[in-house]
Amino acid sequence: MSYEFLGERLIRAVRKPHQCKACGRTIQPGLPATYATTIQDGEFFAWRSHPECREAEAVWNKQRGPWGQRNSCDEDYFWLWQAMEGEPIERAWLVANHPVAAGRLHISLEGCDYPEPARRWAV
Ligand SMILES: [Zn+2]
């Protein structure tokens, strides 16, 4: 396995909808996005995320594992939604430190997997 992180840059406003790789929700046209690129085993990968989601994901991966260090492989990396799945401590960390990203993943401090009924229908 070879993995090389090429870099990332901020797009001020995307022109068409994209799926955020970190939270799975749509990045609507006109909103900012982070565009990140890697080469894994000779293949080029590029993806977009909400800037807040990307930041939370990068911080989490840097704190929890060897990702970001030289010679780490792509398996060390967790998408934000993977990192939070069924992990109450990680979820509490996300709510406390990255509330915008937590909101996109419908994570609240109550530990409830689903939004409150009133919020579920909110636009
Ligand atoms: Zn997102």
Q: How far is the CA of 116 from the centre of ligand 1 (A)?
A: 20
Q: How far is the CA of 50 from the centre of ligand 1 (A)?
A: 4
Domain that holds residue 88: 3-120
pLDDT the model gives residue 35: 97
Is pLDDT of 123 > 60? Answer: no
Q: What is the CATH number of the domain that holds 36?
A: 3.30.1740
Is pLDDT of 95 > 60? Answer: yes
Q: How far is the CA of 52 from the centre of ligand 1 (A)?
A: 7
Q: How far is the CA of 66 from the centre of ligand 1 (A)?
A: 23
Q: How many domains does the chain have?
A: 1
Mean pLDDT score, 43-50 = 95
Q: How far is the CA of 53 from the centre of ligand 1 (A)?
A: 5
pLDDT class for 81, splitting at 50, 70, 90?
Answer: very high
Question: Hey, how many other C-beta atoms are within 10 angstroms of the C-beta on 58?
Answer: 19
